[in-house]
């Protein structure tokens, strides 16, 4: 079994927290891992938000496994979380699983350019809080009989598909960043590359493809996924 040595206990704790949040939304969740040199990228898709979440993890020593100098594999989130040893700052990589369709369509590695007009972090948090309050209020107005899954989904799409200022970023991306614990500290930065938008913070990134993250055909990166 491959064991990755993380930079420190803090990196291990942050990785465990990220994986735990993904499991909260999907007990059968999978993540795609890509490691090269001293960097590990963990890609996940919380189903409630229709976005890709990316957590970058620093490794304590370069990844190497025999003749392989890179790691690219899709694994179970639950099994990966079980393999995290915070005190030792290590994570045991479990066996590969059949990856979901999104795991073959990742954002590009390069070509990212800054997008201006993103509000400050406090305003973004307030935007999410207002969206949550509106969703709850409109849901309660439906009454017990009208509160069907289809109607709740319709309200959710209406609330979270709205744009952030003039950036073209859907509010659901900010909502996802907040829910995953990324929207902390300083102001995030918005980037674009082709059809993709990526909200980057000090704790992780959330990416979305214009037209839907589930649309195949661009930025397909194959490997062990």
The domain of 99 spans 2-104
The predicted structure's pLDDT at residue 1: 81
DSSP state of 208: E
DSSP state of 17: H
Q: What is the mean pLDDT of the chain?
A: 90
In this structure, what CATH number is given to the domain that contains residue 37? 3.10.150.10
Q: Provide the sign of the torsion angle of the four alpha carbons 26, 95, 4, 189, taken in this order.
A: negative
The string of pLDDT tens digits covering residues 93-119 is: 999 999 889 998 899 989 999 999 999
The predicted structure's pLDDT at residue 214: 42
Q: Are residues 75 and 151 in the same domain?
A: no
Point out which residues pair with 209 in neighbouring strands.
196
Q: Are residues 73 and 6 in the same domain?
A: yes
The predicted structure's pLDDT at residue 219: 32
Q: Residue 219 domain-assigned?
A: no
**Domain count of the fold of the chain:** 2
The predicted structure's pLDDT at residue 191: 98
| Sites in the chain below the pLDDT cut of 50 | 213-225
Q: Residue 36 domain-assigned?
A: yes
The predicted structure's pLDDT at residue 86: 97
The predicted structure's pLDDT at residue 63: 87
Phi and psi dihedrals of 212, rounded to 5?
A: 115, 130
The predicted structure's pLDDT at residue 112: 96
* In contact, 31 and 43? CB cutoff 8 Å: yes
From 104, 125, 159, the end of a domain falls on 104
């Amino acid at each position: 079994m491959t064991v990755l040595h993380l930079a420190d206990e803090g990196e291990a704790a942050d990785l465990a927290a990220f994986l735990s949040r993904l499991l909260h939304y999907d007990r059968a969740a999978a993540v795609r891992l890509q490691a090269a040199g001293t960097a590990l990228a963990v890609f996940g898709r919380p189903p409630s938000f229709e976005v890709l979440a990316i957590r970058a993890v620093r490794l304590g020593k370069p990844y190497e496994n025999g003749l392989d100098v890179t790691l690219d594999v899709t694994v179970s989130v639950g099994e990966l979380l079980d393999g995290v040893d915070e005190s030792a700052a290590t994570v045991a990589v479990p066996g590969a699983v059949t990856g979901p369709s999104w795991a073959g369509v990742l954002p590009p590695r390069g070509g990212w350019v800054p997008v201006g007009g993103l509000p400050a972090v406090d305003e973004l948090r307030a935007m999410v809080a207002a969206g949550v309050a509106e969703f709850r209020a409109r849901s309660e107005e439906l009454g017990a009989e009208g509160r069907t899954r289809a109607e709740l989904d319709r309200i959710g799409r209406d609330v979270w598909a709205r744009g952030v200022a003039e950036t073209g970023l859907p509010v659901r991306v900010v909502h996802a960043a907040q829910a995953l614990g990324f929207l902390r500290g300083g102001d995030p930065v918005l980037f674009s590359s082709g059809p993709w938008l990526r909200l980057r913070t000090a704790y992780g990134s959330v990416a979305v493809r214009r037209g839907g993250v589930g649309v195949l055909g661009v930025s397909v990166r194959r490997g062990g996924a």
